[in-house]
Amino acid sequence: MAGSLKDQLLNAGLADAAKAKALDKEKRKAAKVARRAGVTLENEAREAARRAQAEKAEKDRALNQAMNEKALRKAINAQIRQLVEMHRVDRARGDIAFNFTDGKAIKKLYVNALQQKQLASGLLAIVKQGDQYEVLPAPIADKIAQRDPARVIDCRESDAAALTEEEQEWYKDYEIPDDLMW
Q: Where are the domains of the chain?
A: 1-87, 89-171
Report CA Rg, the chain. 42
Q: Supply φ then ψ for residue 148, to 5 degrees.
A: -150, 95
Cα distances (angstroms) measured from residue 13 to each of 2, 18, 24, 81, 91: 16, 13, 18, 100, 116
Mean pLDDT for all residues in the chain: 83
Q: pLDDT of 6-53, one tens digit each?
A: 788 778 877 788 888 888 888 888 878 777 776 666 777 788 889 999
State the average pLDDT over residues 49-74: 94
Residue type, 137: P
> Could you tell me the pTM of the whole model?
0.55
Cα(110)–Cα(58) distance, integer angstroms? 52
Residue 160 has pLDDT above 50, yes or no: no
Beta strands, E only, 7-143: 96-102, 105-111, 124-129, 132-137
Residue 65 has pLDDT above 70, yes or no: yes
State the average pLDDT over residues 161-170: 66
Least confident of 61-70, 98-107, 114-123, 167-176: 167-176
Q: Which residues pair with 126 in a beta bridge?
A: 135, 153
Strands 124-129 and 132-137: antiparallel
Contact at 8 Å (CB) between 86 and 69?
no
pLDDT score recorded for residue 38: 67
Contact at 8 Å (CB) between 130 and 114?
no
The answer for residues whose C-beta is within 8 angstroms of residue 121's C-beta and 6 or more apart is 156, 157
Give which of 97, 79, 95 is closest to 87, Cα–Cα: 79
pLDDT score recorded for residue 57: 94
Q: pLDDT of 78-126, one tens digit each?
A: 999 999 899 888 888 888 888 888 888 888 989 988 888 888 888 899 9
Band of pLDDT at residue 60, cut at 50, 70 and 90? very high
Helices (H), 93-162: 113-121, 138-147, 159-162
pLDDT score recorded for residue 71: 95
